[in-house]
Amino acid sequence: MATRMIPLLPGARRAHGDRVPEQSRRPPGLTGGRARPRDLGATRLTVPVGLHTGLGCDAVGVPARFGFKILSRLPAKGCVYADSDWWWWLVPAGSDLDLTWPLPACYAPGAEIPDRRPRLIHHPDGTSPYTPPIPLYLLVCQLTGIAPSWAAPPVRSTL
């Protein structure tokens, strides 16, 4: 696996010659593939009044450079929030089951994200706040150059 030097966060120290694999990079305030507030504090994305959230809410975030590309290519769009660095799509809770969202995407259970004052930039036409997670996952994979993969159920024959 190729490695390259990654800039440290303020206040962090690294021994001379240590390298961090590129795949382990996370945006400031995020760790471990899931949104975890660090110095920024946290906020929960609020769903506009009149939209039904019976399936619970999680969020999938991508760096802002992918935002317009994803939004323009999705066949159905739910609530989309953005700040200067990240765009977030509301998805039904558990949309990470048997899926590994590719880096640099970030999955945020409970739609709790680092507080960068995100604002709603897309309101869905219907009463569902959700973006269908599978088309979103496939687009994120396509834009990041990662092949989609998920666990397949075992196939059995009763013959």
Torsion of CA 112, 118, 121, 124, to 10 degrees: 20
Question: Which whole number is the average pLDDT over 79-97?
Answer: 95
Question: Which whole number is the average pLDDT over 91-104?
Answer: 91
Question: Is residue 114 scored above 60 in pLDDT?
Answer: yes
| Higher pLDDT pick, 19 / 88 | 88
Question: Is residue 8 scored above 80 in pLDDT?
Answer: no
pLDDT of residue 79: 96
Question: Is residue 106 scored above 70 in pLDDT?
Answer: yes
pLDDT of residue 159: 64
Calpha distance 120→116 (Å, rounded): 13
Question: Which whole number is the average pLDDT over 80-89?
Answer: 96
Mind listing the pLDDT tens digit for each residue in 131-148? 999 999 999 999 999 999
Q: Per the confidence metrics, is the pTM higher than 0.75?
A: no
Q: Is 111 left (phi over 0), alpha (psi -120 to 50) or beta?
A: left
Question: Is residue 24 scored above 80 in pLDDT?
Answer: no
pLDDT level of residue 4 (50, 70, 90 thresholds) = very low
pLDDT of residue 23: 36
Question: Which whole number is the average pLDDT over 12-16?
Answer: 39
Determine the Cα angle at 7 with ends 136 and 116, to 5°. 50
Q: Give the rounded distance of the alpha carbon of 22 from its chain centre.
A: 18
